[in-house]
Amino acid sequence: MEANGLGSQGFPELKNDTFLRAAWGEATDYTPVWCMRQAGRYLPEFRETRAAQDFFSTCRSPEACCELTLQPLRRFPLDAAIIFSDILVVPQALGMEVTMVPGKGPSFPEPLREERDLERLRDPASVTSELGYVFQAITLTRQRLAGRVPLIGFAGAPWTLMTYMIEGGSSSTMAQAKRWLYQKPQASHQLLRILTDALVPYLVGQVAAGAQALQLFESHAGHLGPQLFSQFALPYIRDVSKRVKARLQQAGLAPVPMIIFAKDGHFALEELAQAGYEVVGLDWTVAPEKARERVGKTVTLQGNLDPCALYASEEEIGQLVQQMLDDFGPQRYIANLGHGLYPDMDPEHVGAFVDAVHRHSRLLRQN
């Protein structure tokens, strides 16, 4: 760090690196905590900021993304910020139209139906020029954070993005996307390769812009069994980490820890632990001690309180957190929820969760 308090990229010096140290597997004085969707509709100030414009316009405004990213940090002593954006900006940058329908979620008016529809997609190498607004938001947020906590960048994993592009929105079965895997395996691999080729420079660009860690969301892992997962999801998850790390090195950028969160992908926990990510995120359906046994000592675990536990009383939240921390153990662990925060959750209870993690993890280390 230079003497003026600015780091190598001219950003303010980091004051709280607990999250990064835990991610790298180093010892920490307490357990760091952040929440998926911590910048979300459960915060009245988020709803107020968002009310003025449609969802993707917000994503394209660096100023708005920065404000939304910082809001939860004004309320809670979280140990990391995660940039406000959406995984579907990547399909958008590849030329697909996506709208966010209030109360329904994302919608693709013209989803991919046939193999020839892949020809409509833009060159994946052009994606970074389309997503400059994300990089601007990261740089602005990193400056405004003033070194308070690290900033996490993220993207959706190839299979999860593929599901949206084929289903045209959310789906309970992913039957259309899975039909592609069985009926058009070649075209499926082609699409997954296009997405991987877009994601690698996008993630590297986030680090160049100031992101200090990266999370890959394989939100729809649970729709694939072990065979399909190891055929159509895992190779691309591995490829993303390998290529991002190589690219960072080539660009002369310092390595950043990478997190893989494959929701309901517990059947592939061992494989995920060896996929080239420093941190494996767990959803709430996985028992922490069993997960720790299965992944061994080489990775950090992140998770995994049931988000609905935040509907419990503050006292009970404290007890649940205590149990969770006891199960995960004090080191190589980042506390989080097992999924994102829901819009109807009480911010006070989110605060109780964060405080309980800090309080109990300090006590754990004293004993």
Is 54 marked active-site?
A: no
Does residue 342 lie within any of the structural domains? no
Please tell me the distance from the alpha carbon of residue 249 to that of residue 242, in angstroms, as a whole number. 11
CA angle 289, 294, 297 (to 5 degrees): 85
pLDDT band at 3 (very low <50, low <70, confident <90, very high): very low
Is 50 marked active-site?
A: yes
Mean pLDDT of 122-128: 96
CATH number of the domain where residue 127 is located:
3.20.20.210
Which residue is catalytic, options 17, 79, 86, 239? 86
Does residue 319 lie within any of the structural domains? no
Instruction: Report the pLDDT value the prediction gives residue 164, as an integer from 0 to 100.
Output: 98
Is 193 marked active-site?
A: no
Per-residue pLDDT at 1 exceeds 90: no
Does residue 352 lie within any of the structural domains? no
Does residue 325 lie within any of the structural domains? no
Does residue 307 lie within any of the structural domains? no
Which residue is catalytic, options 17, 30, 37, 277? 37
Does residue 211 lie within any of the structural domains? yes
pLDDT band at 103 (very low <50, low <70, confident <90, very high): confident
Residue type, 317: I
Instruction: List the domain range (segments joined by +) for residue 91.
Output: 6-263
Chain segment 275-288, per-residue pLDDT in tens: 999 999 999 999 99
Per-residue pLDDT at 133 exceeds 60: yes
Mean pLDDT of 304-313: 98
Which residue is catalytic, options 42, 164, 202, 277? 164
Instruction: Report the pLDDT value the prediction gives residue 52, as an integer from 0 to 100.
Output: 83
Does residue 159 lie within any of the structural domains? yes
Which residue is catalytic, options 42, 50, 238, 292? 50
Is 21 marked active-site?
A: no
Per-residue pLDDT at 4 exceeds 70: no
Least confident of 7-11, 92-96, 197-201, 226-230: 7-11
Is 164 marked active-site?
A: yes
Does residue 37 lie within any of the structural domains? yes
Instruction: Report the pLDDT value the prediction gives residue 101, as an integer from 0 to 100.
Output: 92
Compute φ and ψ for 3, nearest 5 degrees.
-65, -25
Please tell me the distance from the alpha carbon of residue 27 to that of residue 10, in angstroms, as a whole number. 27
Check: CB of residue 42 under 8 Å from CB of residue 337.
no
pTM, rounded to two decimals = 0.97
What is the total count of domains within the chain? Answer: 1
Tokens of 221: 């892992």
Chain segment 27-76, per-residue pLDDT in tens: 999 999 999 999 999 999 999 999 989 999 999 999 999 999 999 999 99
DSSP letters for 220-267: TGGGS-HHHIIIIIHHHHHHHHHHHHHHHHHTTPPP--EEEEETT-GG
Please tell me the distance from the alpha carbon of residue 70 to that of residue 84, in angstroms, as a whole number. 9
- Averaged pLDDT of the chain: 96
